[in-house]
Amino acid sequence: MKKKITFAKHKKTSRNKMILVTGGAGYIGSHTVVELQEQGYDVIIVDDLSNSQINVIDNIRKITTKKTRFEQFNLADNTRTTKFFAENPIDAIIHFAAHKYVGESVKEPLRYYYNNFVSTLNILQAIEKHDIRHFVFSSSCTVYGQADSLPVTEQSPVKPAECPYGNTKQVIEEILQDICLAVAQLQVISLRYFNPIGAHASALIGELPVGVPQNLVPYITQTAIGKRDCLQVFGNDYNTTDGTCLRDYIHVVDLAKAHVVALDRMLNKKMKKNYEVFNIGTGKPSSVLEIIQSFEKASQMPLPYKFVERRKGDIEKIWADTTCANTVLGWKAEKTLDDMIRSAWNWEKALKENNK
Ligand code: UFG
Protein backbone atom coordinates (compact mmCIF):
# COMPACT_ATOMS: atom_id res chain seq x y z
CA MET A 1 0.00 0.00 0.00
CA LYS A 2 1.21 3.43 -0.92
CA LYS A 3 2.13 5.53 2.07
CA LYS A 4 0.01 8.62 2.29
CA ILE A 5 2.20 11.66 2.28
CA THR A 6 0.89 14.56 4.28
CA PHE A 7 2.31 18.02 4.00
CA ALA A 8 2.57 20.22 7.03
CA LYS A 9 0.08 23.05 6.65
CA HIS A 10 1.80 26.33 5.95
CA LYS A 11 1.69 28.15 9.26
CA LYS A 12 0.22 31.59 8.90
CA THR A 13 2.81 34.04 10.10
CA SER A 14 0.95 37.28 9.54
CA ARG A 15 1.78 39.52 12.42
CA ASN A 16 -0.89 40.78 14.75
CA LYS A 17 -2.47 44.00 13.65
CA MET A 18 -0.44 46.98 14.82
CA ILE A 19 -2.60 49.70 16.33
CA LEU A 20 -1.30 53.21 16.88
CA VAL A 21 -2.92 54.74 19.96
CA THR A 22 -2.26 58.47 20.07
CA GLY A 23 -2.61 59.85 23.58
CA GLY A 24 -2.27 56.29 24.88
CA ALA A 25 -0.74 57.44 28.18
CA GLY A 26 -3.83 59.52 28.96
CA TYR A 27 -6.93 58.59 30.90
CA ILE A 28 -9.12 56.94 28.24
CA GLY A 29 -6.14 56.04 26.05
CA SER A 30 -4.37 53.99 28.72
CA HIS A 31 -7.48 51.94 29.51
CA THR A 32 -8.02 51.35 25.79
CA VAL A 33 -4.43 50.14 25.33
CA VAL A 34 -5.02 47.55 28.07
CA GLU A 35 -8.23 46.29 26.44
CA LEU A 36 -6.62 46.17 22.98
CA GLN A 37 -3.67 44.16 24.22
CA GLU A 38 -5.92 41.80 26.12
CA GLN A 39 -7.76 41.14 22.84
CA GLY A 40 -4.51 40.31 21.05
CA TYR A 41 -3.77 43.57 19.26
CA ASP A 42 -0.23 44.92 19.18
CA VAL A 43 -0.04 48.51 20.28
CA ILE A 44 2.30 51.41 19.83
CA ILE A 45 1.58 54.50 21.90
CA VAL A 46 2.50 58.01 20.83
CA ASP A 47 2.05 60.59 23.55
CA ASP A 48 3.86 63.84 24.33
CA LEU A 49 3.16 63.40 28.07
CA SER A 50 1.86 66.98 28.23
CA ASN A 51 -1.07 65.81 30.35
CA SER A 52 0.07 62.36 31.45
CA GLN A 53 2.97 60.64 33.15
CA ILE A 54 5.61 58.18 32.02
CA ASN A 55 4.84 55.67 34.79
CA VAL A 56 1.43 55.07 33.14
CA ILE A 57 3.33 53.13 30.45
CA ASP A 58 5.00 50.94 33.09
CA ASN A 59 1.67 50.36 34.79
CA ILE A 60 0.03 49.32 31.50
CA ARG A 61 2.86 46.82 31.08
CA LYS A 62 2.29 45.54 34.62
CA ILE A 63 -1.41 44.92 33.92
CA THR A 64 -1.05 43.26 30.53
CA THR A 65 2.45 41.76 30.93
CA LYS A 66 2.80 42.49 27.22
CA LYS A 67 5.22 44.55 25.24
CA THR A 68 3.88 48.08 24.94
CA ARG A 69 5.89 50.23 22.57
CA PHE A 70 5.99 53.93 23.35
CA GLU A 71 7.30 57.03 21.58
CA GLN A 72 7.21 60.48 23.11
CA PHE A 73 6.46 63.35 20.74
CA ASN A 74 3.72 65.78 19.79
CA LEU A 75 1.84 64.83 16.63
CA ALA A 76 1.55 68.51 15.67
CA ASP A 77 5.28 68.22 14.84
CA ASN A 78 5.03 67.30 11.17
CA THR A 79 8.67 66.28 10.68
CA ARG A 80 8.59 63.93 13.64
CA THR A 81 5.18 62.52 12.67
CA THR A 82 6.27 61.90 9.07
CA LYS A 83 9.39 60.09 10.31
CA PHE A 84 7.33 57.97 12.71
CA PHE A 85 4.96 56.75 10.00
CA ALA A 86 7.86 56.07 7.62
CA GLU A 87 9.47 53.84 10.25
CA ASN A 88 6.41 52.04 11.64
CA PRO A 89 3.92 49.94 9.65
CA ILE A 90 0.52 50.80 11.17
CA ASP A 91 -2.73 48.96 10.43
CA ALA A 92 -5.14 51.19 12.34
CA ILE A 93 -5.19 54.31 14.46
CA ILE A 94 -7.18 55.28 17.54
CA HIS A 95 -6.75 59.01 17.95
CA PHE A 96 -7.11 60.36 21.50
CA ALA A 97 -4.25 62.87 21.61
CA ALA A 98 -5.79 66.31 22.12
CA HIS A 99 -6.14 69.15 24.58
CA LYS A 100 -9.40 68.50 26.38
CA TYR A 101 -10.43 71.15 28.91
CA VAL A 102 -13.47 73.27 28.12
CA GLY A 103 -12.50 76.26 30.34
CA GLU A 104 -8.85 76.25 29.26
CA SER A 105 -9.91 76.21 25.60
CA VAL A 106 -11.90 79.42 26.10
CA LYS A 107 -8.82 81.13 27.56
CA GLU A 108 -6.32 79.75 25.04
CA PRO A 109 -8.25 79.09 21.82
CA LEU A 110 -5.25 79.34 19.51
CA ARG A 111 -3.28 76.74 21.46
CA TYR A 112 -6.30 74.41 21.34
CA TYR A 113 -7.03 74.94 17.64
CA TYR A 114 -3.37 74.58 16.68
CA ASN A 115 -2.71 71.43 18.66
CA ASN A 116 -5.96 69.56 18.00
CA PHE A 117 -6.23 70.44 14.31
CA VAL A 118 -2.59 70.26 13.25
CA SER A 119 -1.96 66.92 14.96
CA THR A 120 -5.08 65.42 13.34
CA LEU A 121 -4.21 66.81 9.90
CA ASN A 122 -0.67 65.45 10.17
CA ILE A 123 -2.05 62.00 10.97
CA LEU A 124 -4.54 62.20 8.10
CA GLN A 125 -1.74 63.09 5.68
CA ALA A 126 0.18 60.04 6.89
CA ILE A 127 -2.94 57.90 6.46
CA GLU A 128 -3.15 59.02 2.84
CA LYS A 129 0.54 58.54 2.17
CA HIS A 130 0.77 55.07 3.72
CA ASP A 131 -2.70 53.91 2.70
CA ILE A 132 -3.81 53.24 6.28
CA ARG A 133 -7.50 52.33 6.16
CA HIS A 134 -8.85 52.30 9.71
CA PHE A 135 -9.28 55.28 12.02
CA VAL A 136 -11.25 55.65 15.26
CA PHE A 137 -11.82 59.21 16.47
CA SER A 138 -12.44 60.37 20.06
CA SER A 139 -15.44 62.59 19.75
CA SER A 140 -17.72 63.89 22.46
CA CYS A 141 -21.35 64.42 23.38
CA THR A 142 -20.33 68.07 23.56
CA VAL A 143 -21.31 68.23 19.85
CA TYR A 144 -25.01 68.10 20.88
CA GLY A 145 -24.82 71.15 23.19
CA GLN A 146 -28.07 71.46 25.16
CA ALA A 147 -30.24 69.17 23.05
CA ASP A 148 -33.89 70.04 22.51
CA SER A 149 -35.04 66.49 23.17
CA LEU A 150 -33.50 63.74 25.27
CA PRO A 151 -31.99 61.22 25.11
CA VAL A 152 -29.84 62.25 22.16
CA THR A 153 -29.48 59.92 19.19
CA GLU A 154 -26.72 60.09 16.59
CA GLN A 155 -29.25 61.94 14.40
CA SER A 156 -29.88 64.69 16.98
CA PRO A 157 -28.79 68.06 15.62
CA VAL A 158 -25.22 69.15 16.20
CA LYS A 159 -25.45 72.53 17.94
CA PRO A 160 -23.04 75.45 17.50
CA ALA A 161 -20.08 74.68 19.76
CA GLU A 162 -20.01 76.43 23.13
CA CYS A 163 -16.21 76.51 23.31
CA PRO A 164 -13.11 76.05 21.14
CA TYR A 165 -12.58 72.52 22.52
CA GLY A 166 -16.08 71.50 21.41
CA ASN A 167 -15.53 73.18 18.08
CA THR A 168 -12.41 71.10 17.43
CA LYS A 169 -14.49 67.92 17.91
CA GLN A 170 -17.22 69.13 15.55
CA VAL A 171 -14.86 70.34 12.83
CA ILE A 172 -12.70 67.20 12.97
CA GLU A 173 -15.84 65.07 12.59
CA GLU A 174 -16.70 67.14 9.48
CA ILE A 175 -13.17 66.79 8.09
CA LEU A 176 -13.36 63.02 8.55
CA GLN A 177 -16.72 62.83 6.78
CA ASP A 178 -15.38 64.85 3.83
CA ILE A 179 -12.32 62.63 3.52
CA CYS A 180 -14.46 59.48 3.72
CA LEU A 181 -16.60 60.79 0.85
CA ALA A 182 -13.49 61.25 -1.26
CA VAL A 183 -11.56 58.12 -0.23
CA ALA A 184 -13.78 55.04 -0.45
CA GLN A 185 -11.27 52.61 1.07
CA LEU A 186 -10.84 54.65 4.27
CA GLN A 187 -13.02 53.52 7.20
CA VAL A 188 -13.66 55.89 10.09
CA ILE A 189 -15.72 55.55 13.26
CA SER A 190 -16.31 58.55 15.52
CA LEU A 191 -17.25 57.62 19.07
CA ARG A 192 -19.15 60.34 20.92
CA TYR A 193 -18.30 59.80 24.57
CA PHE A 194 -20.55 60.86 27.38
CA ASN A 195 -18.90 61.36 30.83
CA PRO A 196 -16.15 58.80 31.47
CA ILE A 197 -15.34 58.17 35.13
CA GLY A 198 -13.82 55.37 37.24
CA ALA A 199 -10.57 53.46 36.92
CA HIS A 200 -9.12 50.07 36.08
CA ALA A 201 -9.87 47.28 38.60
CA SER A 202 -6.14 46.89 39.30
CA ALA A 203 -6.00 50.52 40.52
CA LEU A 204 -2.77 50.80 38.50
CA ILE A 205 -4.24 53.25 35.97
CA GLY A 206 -6.95 55.88 36.30
CA GLU A 207 -7.57 59.57 35.85
CA LEU A 208 -4.54 61.69 36.73
CA PRO A 209 -5.61 65.33 36.58
CA VAL A 210 -2.78 67.84 36.53
CA GLY A 211 -3.43 70.56 39.13
CA VAL A 212 -6.93 71.24 40.40
CA PRO A 213 -9.39 68.78 38.81
CA GLN A 214 -11.94 70.33 36.46
CA ASN A 215 -14.24 67.31 36.47
CA LEU A 216 -16.64 66.15 39.14
CA VAL A 217 -15.45 62.70 40.18
CA PRO A 218 -11.71 63.42 40.59
CA TYR A 219 -12.71 66.52 42.58
CA ILE A 220 -14.86 64.36 44.84
CA THR A 221 -12.16 61.73 45.44
CA GLN A 222 -9.47 64.37 46.02
CA THR A 223 -11.75 66.09 48.54
CA ALA A 224 -12.35 62.85 50.38
CA ILE A 225 -8.65 61.97 50.47
CA GLY A 226 -7.90 65.41 51.96
CA LYS A 227 -6.30 67.18 48.99
CA ARG A 228 -9.24 69.61 48.62
CA ASP A 229 -11.37 71.16 51.35
CA CYS A 230 -14.85 70.97 49.96
CA LEU A 231 -16.62 70.12 46.71
CA GLN A 232 -18.46 73.00 45.13
CA VAL A 233 -21.67 71.84 43.48
CA PHE A 234 -22.30 74.20 40.60
CA GLY A 235 -25.97 75.14 40.82
CA ASN A 236 -29.00 73.58 42.52
CA ASP A 237 -31.70 75.46 40.65
CA TYR A 238 -31.68 73.54 37.37
CA ASN A 239 -34.89 72.10 35.98
CA THR A 240 -34.03 68.53 37.05
CA THR A 241 -35.18 66.03 39.67
CA ASP A 242 -33.02 67.49 42.47
CA GLY A 243 -31.93 70.81 40.90
CA THR A 244 -28.42 69.64 39.93
CA CYS A 245 -27.22 68.85 36.40
CA LEU A 246 -27.81 65.46 34.79
CA ARG A 247 -25.10 63.56 32.90
CA ASP A 248 -24.61 60.09 31.46
CA TYR A 249 -21.61 58.76 33.40
CA ILE A 250 -19.85 55.76 31.87
CA HIS A 251 -17.14 53.51 33.30
CA VAL A 252 -13.87 54.18 31.50
CA VAL A 253 -13.29 50.43 31.03
CA ASP A 254 -16.67 50.06 29.29
CA LEU A 255 -15.72 53.03 27.12
CA ALA A 256 -12.31 51.49 26.37
CA LYS A 257 -14.01 48.26 25.27
CA ALA A 258 -16.16 50.24 22.80
CA HIS A 259 -12.96 51.13 20.94
CA VAL A 260 -11.97 47.48 20.60
CA VAL A 261 -15.44 46.63 19.29
CA ALA A 262 -15.27 49.55 16.82
CA LEU A 263 -11.89 48.37 15.59
CA ASP A 264 -13.09 44.77 15.23
CA ARG A 265 -16.05 46.06 13.22
CA MET A 266 -13.73 47.82 10.78
CA LEU A 267 -11.16 45.07 10.48
CA ASN A 268 -13.86 42.42 10.03
CA LYS A 269 -15.40 44.52 7.25
CA LYS A 270 -18.75 44.92 9.00
CA MET A 271 -19.22 48.65 8.39
CA LYS A 272 -22.29 49.61 6.36
CA LYS A 273 -20.84 52.97 5.26
CA ASN A 274 -17.23 54.08 5.47
CA TYR A 275 -18.05 56.76 8.07
CA GLU A 276 -20.06 55.85 11.14
CA VAL A 277 -20.77 57.56 14.45
CA PHE A 278 -21.91 56.06 17.76
CA ASN A 279 -22.98 57.45 21.11
CA ILE A 280 -21.03 55.75 23.88
CA GLY A 281 -22.86 56.10 27.18
CA THR A 282 -25.06 54.04 29.49
CA GLY A 283 -28.32 55.72 28.53
CA LYS A 284 -28.98 56.53 32.20
CA PRO A 285 -28.86 60.08 33.59
CA SER A 286 -27.45 60.78 37.07
CA SER A 287 -27.46 64.05 38.97
CA VAL A 288 -24.49 65.55 40.82
CA LEU A 289 -26.21 64.72 44.12
CA GLU A 290 -26.66 61.08 43.06
CA ILE A 291 -22.93 60.90 42.35
CA ILE A 292 -22.21 62.27 45.83
CA GLN A 293 -24.60 59.72 47.39
CA SER A 294 -22.94 56.88 45.51
CA PHE A 295 -19.55 58.12 46.67
CA GLU A 296 -20.66 58.32 50.31
CA LYS A 297 -21.92 54.73 50.05
CA ALA A 298 -18.65 53.50 48.52
CA SER A 299 -16.38 55.33 50.96
CA GLN A 300 -18.61 55.02 54.02
CA MET A 301 -17.86 58.64 54.85
CA PRO A 302 -19.67 61.94 54.42
CA LEU A 303 -18.39 64.22 51.67
CA PRO A 304 -18.07 67.93 52.46
CA TYR A 305 -19.87 69.90 49.76
CA LYS A 306 -21.68 73.18 49.29
CA PHE A 307 -23.89 74.64 46.59
CA VAL A 308 -22.46 77.56 44.66
CA GLU A 309 -23.43 79.51 41.53
CA ARG A 310 -23.93 77.66 38.24
CA ARG A 311 -20.71 77.11 36.26
CA LYS A 312 -20.62 79.15 33.06
CA GLY A 313 -21.11 76.98 29.96
CA ASP A 314 -22.60 73.98 31.81
CA ILE A 315 -25.53 72.38 30.09
CA GLU A 316 -28.47 71.37 32.24
CA LYS A 317 -28.93 67.77 31.17
CA ILE A 318 -27.80 65.26 28.60
CA TRP A 319 -27.84 61.53 28.24
CA ALA A 320 -27.46 59.09 25.39
CA ASP A 321 -29.76 56.95 23.36
CA THR A 322 -27.46 53.96 23.01
CA THR A 323 -29.67 51.87 20.70
CA CYS A 324 -27.27 52.27 17.81
CA ALA A 325 -24.20 51.25 19.83
CA ASN A 326 -26.13 48.31 21.32
CA THR A 327 -27.63 46.96 18.12
CA VAL A 328 -25.33 48.03 15.28
CA LEU A 329 -21.97 48.09 17.07
CA GLY A 330 -22.92 45.22 19.37
CA TRP A 331 -21.58 46.97 22.46
CA LYS A 332 -23.28 47.71 25.78
CA ALA A 333 -22.05 49.36 28.97
CA GLU A 334 -21.95 46.78 31.75
CA LYS A 335 -20.87 48.55 34.89
CA THR A 336 -23.19 50.34 37.31
CA LEU A 337 -22.76 53.80 38.75
CA ASP A 338 -21.68 52.26 42.08
CA ASP A 339 -19.02 50.18 40.23
CA MET A 340 -17.71 53.35 38.62
CA ILE A 341 -17.54 55.33 41.84
CA ARG A 342 -16.03 52.46 43.84
CA SER A 343 -13.24 52.03 41.29
CA ALA A 344 -12.54 55.78 41.26
CA TRP A 345 -12.23 55.76 45.05
CA ASN A 346 -9.96 52.67 45.03
CA TRP A 347 -7.75 54.45 42.50
CA GLU A 348 -7.50 57.62 44.63
CA LYS A 349 -6.59 55.53 47.70
CA ALA A 350 -3.97 53.59 45.71
CA LEU A 351 -2.43 56.86 44.50
CA LYS A 352 -2.09 58.03 48.09
CA GLU A 353 -0.59 54.70 49.12
CA ASN A 354 1.98 54.85 46.30
CA ASN A 355 2.97 58.44 47.09
CA LYS A 356 3.77 57.64 50.71
N1 UFG B 1 -19.47 69.74 38.78
C2 UFG B 1 -19.60 70.27 40.05
N3 UFG B 1 -18.46 70.58 40.73
C4 UFG B 1 -17.21 70.36 40.22
C5 UFG B 1 -17.10 69.81 38.92
C6 UFG B 1 -18.25 69.51 38.24
O7 UFG B 1 -20.70 70.49 40.54
O8 UFG B 1 -16.22 70.68 40.90
C9 UFG B 1 -20.68 69.38 38.05
C10 UFG B 1 -20.83 70.14 36.74
O11 UFG B 1 -21.47 71.37 36.96
C12 UFG B 1 -21.65 69.15 35.91
C13 UFG B 1 -21.21 67.79 36.42
O14 UFG B 1 -20.60 68.03 37.67
O15 UFG B 1 -23.00 69.31 36.26
C16 UFG B 1 -20.21 67.12 35.50
O17 UFG B 1 -19.16 68.03 35.26
P18 UFG B 1 -17.77 67.55 34.64
O19 UFG B 1 -16.87 68.76 34.63
O20 UFG B 1 -17.27 66.35 35.34
O21 UFG B 1 -18.16 67.10 33.17
P22 UFG B 1 -18.84 67.96 32.00
O23 UFG B 1 -20.12 67.28 31.71
O24 UFG B 1 -18.89 69.39 32.26
O25 UFG B 1 -17.74 67.79 30.85
C26 UFG B 1 -17.53 66.56 30.26
C27 UFG B 1 -16.08 66.47 29.74
C28 UFG B 1 -15.87 67.43 28.60
C29 UFG B 1 -16.95 67.27 27.56
C30 UFG B 1 -18.31 67.39 28.19
C31 UFG B 1 -19.39 67.14 27.20
O32 UFG B 1 -15.17 66.76 30.77
O33 UFG B 1 -14.62 67.16 28.01
O34 UFG B 1 -18.44 66.42 29.22
O35 UFG B 1 -20.62 67.50 27.71
F36 UFG B 1 -16.83 68.22 26.60
- Share above pLDDT 70 across residues of the chain, in percent, rounded to a whole number: 96
Nearest to 125 by CA among 175, 165, 167, 61: 175
CA distance 74 to 80: 8
Q: Give the pLDDT confidence score for residue 15 in this predicted structure.
A: 55
| Cα(264)–Cα(95) distance, integer angstroms | 16
**Active-site residue, selected from the candidate residues 27, 144, 165, 249:** 165
Q: According to the model, what pLDDT value does residue 144 have?
A: 95
Ligand 1 mean position to 195 CA, how many Å? 8
Q: Return the amino acid letter for 218.
A: P
Active site residue 41: no
Q: Which residues contact 175 (CB under 8 A, 6 or more apart)?
A: 120, 121, 124
- Whether pLDDT at 12 is above 50: no
Residue range 91-102: mean pLDDT, rounded: 96
Residue-averaged pLDDT of the chain:
94
3 confidence band (pLDDT: 50, 70, 90):
low
Q: Where are the beta strands (DSSP E) in 111-258?
A: 134-140, 187-193, 195-197, 231-234, 246-247, 249-251
What's residue 4's pLDDT? 53
* Model confidence, pTM: 0.95
pLDDT tens for 41-65 read 999 999 999 999 999 999 999 999 9
Average pLDDT of 119-148? 97
How does pLDDT run across 236-260, given as a tens digit for each residue? 999 999 999 999 999 999 999 999 9
CA-closest residue to ligand 1 atom 4 = 216
Nearest-CA neighbor of 252 among 213, 296, 194? 194
The pLDDT, as a whole number, for residue 356 is: 62
Pocket of ligand 1 (CB under 6 A): 100, 102, 140-142, 195, 214-216, 219, 231-234, 245, 247, 288, 311, 314
Q: What is the mean pLDDT of residues 295-319?
A: 96
Give the pLDDT band (50/70/90) at residue 162. confident
CA 253, CA 257: separation in Å to the nearest integer?
6
Span 187-216, average pLDDT = 96
DSSP code at position 239: S
